[in-house]
Structure 1
């Protein structure tokens, strides 16, 4: 039996949390025993689902980079689980796990370390700690070729990189679109575009709000839902209100279970992250929704321009609005693209394939 400890910053919807959840639920129980660690509260629907499936979920709060008490608690929690493999999801997990890993052995780390979702660590001391552990990891897993190049720039040797495509989680059966939108505070018969709220490099949801402002005059029933803004929510609401005055039709939500519900009820999904964003695109595609996204190196590996949605030049808000207008004006086109998106997600990004590939990596490291 191979014990695997999956460490995530939180369980809110994200590429890292979704991958960890799918692995914890999908790894063969006759070969693997997973534990999920969370750098914060381990509550909510995702935590409940994991516990119901018999997966231990541990919460270890770490307040800041130099929180030695929190780092020691995390180290004890990891050692109690006795993992052969420690999988770190994201820069925060890589930064926080430094006291839980013995890097002094000639044969490799103890436990063996896998890193994913951490190609863009922040600056400062925390970023230095994260980058140091990423470079020392036994295996680093990029989800796209562009992601792999970012790890190369960080100094990760090519022989330690193993590319594994992300997975599109199966959409959960839900309510009617009208019921979902009503529960989220939208008026009857509203049409909603869903956008990612992660603010990076001063862009992302800001671009979506400006593009929406170009559309709202023509489409009086159109609304914008922004998910996962976190601390940037007041800033985004202020921007939206300054543009709309008394015609405010933007709602900003926390990342949570409502994101999947909103995507399932959306007319279209915008992905305006300056890098990454594959999880948002895949979630929309699996739900049968056309995606309009920046033509970043990451998203060009997921979205087929003109087939499963549209790719537009990064930062071109007018083109973002124009492509969304085309979908709103032609429901048949939107439906055709949505069906093509669902088919591509199921064929090219199945959960079973991703789980099998990670299982192979874990087994190789545990046996080495």
Structure 2
């Protein structure tokens, strides 16, 4: 198979990380999987991962962008395009008028409602199949646009490389030394873009409340974004010991997970969060807001992670205090979380799902 993976994402988290796993997995199975991007930051990061990338101009869908994508498709000899935003679908639809290829829509609308006007229906009418990362997002898509139920659908959750994402004690010690965190300190970590919908302000309030209840901890925040200055100020004003690392590379992120005693993921809406899956693969216990598809990944019975209501400071503070208070609970949660990833969400199963979807699209059965 010869596949173009098209994304207009700005940065690594989310689509960038997922596409990297998919490209590597397809390549390792003998397929051609070539990434097509629109942002230099993501292009550079994907190339650091050793992946083949073509960057096309801008983030619009005018003639210049269409022609650039058509050239990329032609150079790849692409039989299919995997696209994950409405903009990418529109661009793919125009480009495939000039280069015949199937379009697979990796449906990735989360923080805003789908656009459902006539032209969007026209663009999506050219889609051969939709891939949904979670049952939540599939149901949400059909709820807002019932006509999408007529497009062949595949449920393919994100997968995680448990050989790469695994506990690294030496890296954990080095990470703590690098950021001046004592070996005995309790580290609570969040990894996400520093934007309003990720709930870092909720986590700061909750962890500060837990600290005033007698829990000595350090909050480590991994990620970049427009709210960094505001969040640093909030943490400083309430006196919460905190470290803001900025966006980390994969090796440093694994070290961060390994150094953490607990991961909190307070995001107010998610499809199937990579940060939670990566943390679980690294045997980190996770407390997460029960938002979107997070529960599908983390599990709902309390043995592989803890879910709390979104934007509930009291519930998050109580859950953090509870897991630290119960001897052995953190270790048990972390071990069970890693087993869940190994058994239910290995990266091989993700690649299997896309291979199947693409093969059926090419065969014309879907």
Task: Give the structure-2-normalised TM-score.
Answer: 0.84
1:56-97 deviations in whole A, cap 9, x for unaligned?
Answer: 2222341x4366544542332233222111011345544554
Equivalent residues in 2 for 1:59-70, closer than 5 Å: 59-62=55-58, 64-65=59-60, 69-70=64-65
Q: Separation in 2 of the partners of 1:17 and 1:131?
A: 26
From the superposition, tell whether residues 70 and 358 of structure 1 become closer, same or farther in structure 2 (CA, over 3 Å). Answer: same
Q: Separation in 1 of the partners of 2:85 and 2:166?
A: 26
Q: CA RMSD in A?
A: 3.2
| Residues 1:312 and 2:308 are matched in the alignment | yes
Q: Separation in 2 of the partners of 1:101 and 1:292?
A: 44
1:150 is aligned to: 140
**Which of 55, 58, 65 matches 2:54?**
58
From the superposition, tell whether residues 218 and 138 of structure 1 become closer, same or farther in structure 2 (CA, over 3 Å). Answer: same
From the superposition, tell whether residues 314 and 182 of structure 1 become closer, same or farther in structure 2 (CA, over 3 Å). Answer: same
Q: Which moved more, 1:146-155 or 1:214-223?
A: 214-223
Q: Separation in 2 of the partners of 1:254 and 1:135?
A: 37
Shift of 1:184: 3.8
| Residues 1:264 and 2:253 are matched in the alignment | no
Task: Give the structure-1-normalised TM-score.
Answer: 0.84
| Residues 1:344 and 2:340 are matched in the alignment | yes
What SS class does the counterpart of residue 120 from structure 1 fall into?
coil
What SS class does the counterpart of residue 105 from structure 2 fall into?
strand
Q: Separation in 2 of the partners of 1:85 and 1:301?
A: 29
From the superposition, tell whether residues 13 and 269 of structure 1 become closer, same or farther in structure 2 (CA, over 3 Å). Answer: farther
2:16 is aligned to: 17
1:105-134 deviations in whole A, cap 9, x for unaligned?
Answer: xxxx93111122422375899x99878645
1:137-157 deviations in whole A, cap 9, x for unaligned?
Answer: 211111111110122124422
From the superposition, tell whether residues 123 and 199 of structure 1 become closer, same or farther in structure 2 (CA, over 3 Å). Answer: farther
2:48 is aligned to: 48
Q: Which moved more, 1:94-103 or 1:222-231?
A: 94-103
From the superposition, tell whether residues 229 and 131 of structure 1 become closer, same or farther in structure 2 (CA, over 3 Å). Answer: farther
Aligned length in residues: 355
1:106 is aligned to: none
**Which of 91, 108, 131 matches 1:118?**
108
1:82 is aligned to: 77
Q: Separation in 2 of the partners of 1:173 and 1:270?
A: 17
